[in-house]
Amino acid sequence: MKLSKLYSDLPEIFEPLLFSQGLNVVLAEIRLLENRDKDTHNLGKTTLGRLIDFCFLMQKNKEFFLFKHYDRFENFTFFLEIELQDASFLTVRRSVRAASKISFKKHEAANQDFTDLPDWKWDHLDMPFDKAKEMLDSLLDWRALKPWSYRNGLGYQLRSQDDFRDVFHLGKSRGADKEWKPFLAHILGFDGHLIDLSYEKEEEIKLRKNEAKIIEKELVGNSEDYDKIDGKLLLKRQEAKRRQTLLDDFDFLIPDKEKTDLLVDEIDKKIVSLNEKRYSLKIRGEKLRASLEDDQILFDTENAALLFRQAGVLFQGQIKKDFEQLITFNRAITQERRAYLQEELSEIESDIKSVSADLDVLGKRRKELLKFIKNTDIFDKYKYLSADMVTLRADIVSLERQRDFLARRRELRERISLMTEDLRQRQKQIESDVIDKRGDSSGFFAKIQLFFSEIVEDVIAHKVLLRVKLSEKTKHMEFKAEILDESGNATSAGLGHTYRKLLCVAFDLAVLRAHLDASYPRFVFHDGVFESLDDRKKENLLAVFRQYAALGLQPIITLIDSDMPVHGEQEGPVFEPGEIILTLHDEGDEGRLFKMPPW
């Protein structure tokens, strides 16, 4: 599958661009001296890759140049002609104004112009965006990517400058590992579906654990077991049923007796007990305060020396020193003891506050019970007991809620345990798959490794090692590309931007070549590939591009003329006839991809 033609319905501004079957070069010539030292020239070589992506139905983004400068591009409709696997052609139509309405037309001959094609002649007209992506996925029929969409693989076919930062993790997919690692593993010959499932399982476990944390918060202070809650529920429900019967019969004899028993046997006893406790705490508190006041060292060595001199007794030297050391020692002990006493006093004061609060509650409850017992109005008693029933039912609802939380927590714990074991099994399967595929010297991954290393060695005379392994900690796949020295040891050369870009180019080409016999795209777009390379390496890389074009691939590269490879002592043009498909320059708007002022 290759690109055939890109054009618009405004050819005076955007001229039709025909792609060749082999190497395609987009050359930007910097003809004005004042522009030679600029980093960017806004001629459109990078924009071309973005425009191809737009025609392959990239998601609409307000920062994308067509929409960011909507006033300039709203009248454009673009057409991308694609050569399919069976040598037929497909044209995709997408406008800027109606970017979510896509049309398709299959045809037998190349280089068509469908700008004026009537609506009824389109095979699929103005399809909704999501349906259109599904349709394009079906029409392209890149079976080697399945079960992933063609959009997953397109990132490695359209490398912008931002995508050269990492060989494997593209700039356009900076999301979580699960968004790109399973697909990458798949195109390298591993079981990407297993990896995808493991990420899904991890995500599910994480969600269930978060749910369990929420339930744990709900159960704080209510850590009772099922049997205790079930017992309480049984008693509360029975009590509610009994009280409702009494209310229905207006029978308050039993409630009067119960309230009296409650007042005498529980409330009054608790009040007496708490008062005794508060009294005891206050006595202890007073004793602690007294101890804190008494813990003072009153002996002063200077005063003692004066007193001894007046009495005619020597108080100097070792005697004074011993007394001072004794005082220092006692002061240290006293300070430590005071800290303990202060801490104990704080605890006692806190306990007194707690006991006082409990006494306030019991006092109010006692007052209510006395009022109920002394009250002779039957309707007041009915209202009082009805309020009790509301409280009782609320207790029942609370207990039922606790029971539900406990059941959900137990269910989650069992489920998490099963899912964790399932995840371990999947990780073992992934590990076995990686070891088997990595160790197969004639397997698919080995082919990519060899092609990858050959390209790099042809360009910079160094081998490169493509590594795939599982993280010891996370059990996730990790991908590395390491340039090797003459001894076969990894060097830091791949860390530089220039060599990292070369590794990206080599990786993309190696993957395409490994899939030559499969239903897989044949084109690849690389922006500014020769930038920063020395002349010899540029020449070597150009030879690689031509070699891969001869194999049936369609490399599309962009460069500025100052990065042009050289032939050494050979004369003549660097590029062969037909390789340069577009020449841009800085001598006015006519030299730009879009023949309009820059934006």
Task: Say yes or no: 331 and 448 in one domain.
Answer: no
Instruction: Report the pLDDT value the prediction gives residue 252, as an integer from 0 to 100.
Output: 44
Which of the two residues, 402 and 190, has the higher pLDDT score? 190
Q: pLDDT tens digit string along 566-595? A: 765 566 678 888 899 999 998 889 999 999
Say yes or no: 6 and 148 in one domain.
Answer: yes
Instruction: Name the β-bridge partners of 584.
Output: 28
Tally DSSP H helices, then E strands, for the chain: 16, 13
The answer to the question of residue 152 being in a domain is: yes
Q: Which of these ranges, 216-220, 357-361, 523-527, has the smallest mean pLDDT?
A: 216-220
- For the chain, the average pLDDT equals 83
**Section 218-236 average pLDDT:** 66
The one-letter amino acid code at 585 reads H
- Domains of the chain: total: 2
Average pLDDT rounded to a whole number, residues 145-153: 92
Percent of all residues in the chain with a pLDDT value above 70, rounded to a whole number: 78
Residue 546 lies in a domain: yes
CA angle 477, 483, 489 (to 5 degrees): 95
Say if residue 448 is in the same domain as residue 331: no
pLDDT the model gives residue 202: 92
Looking up residue 150, the CATH number of its domain turns out to be 3.40.50.300
Residue with tokens 């700039």: 171
Q: Is residue 211 part of a domain?
A: no
Segment 387-396 shows an average pLDDT of 74
In a domain, 429, yes or no: no
Range of the domain at 348: 226-408
332-368: pLDDT as tens digits? 666 776 777 778 778 888 888 888 887 787 777 666 6
Has residue 131 got a pLDDT over 80?
Answer: yes
The predicted pLDDT at position 246 comes to 57
Q: 470 and 388, same structural domain?
A: no
Q: Is the pTM of this model over 0.75?
A: no
Q: 325 or 434, which is more confident? A: 434
Listing from the earlier edge strand, what are the strands of the sheet with 158-159? 158-159, 523-527, 554-560, 24-29, 580-585
Residues 289 and 398 in one domain: yes
- The pLDDT of residue 320 is 52
Residue that wins the pLDDT comparison between 386 and 191: 191
Tokens standing for 20? 């060749």
In a domain, 339, yes or no: yes
Would you call 187 exposed, middle or buried from its count of C-beta atoms within 10 A (0-12, 13-18, 19+)?
buried
Which pLDDT does position 155 carry in this prediction? 87
One domain, residues 404 and 462:
no
Cα(351)–Cα(355) distance, rounded to whole angstroms? 6
CB 573 within 8 A of CB 565: no
499 found inside a domain: yes
Q: pLDDT at position 283, please? A: 84
- Looking at the structure, tell me whether residues 134 and 242 fall in a common domain: no
Regarding whether 447 and 396 lie in a shared domain, the answer is: no
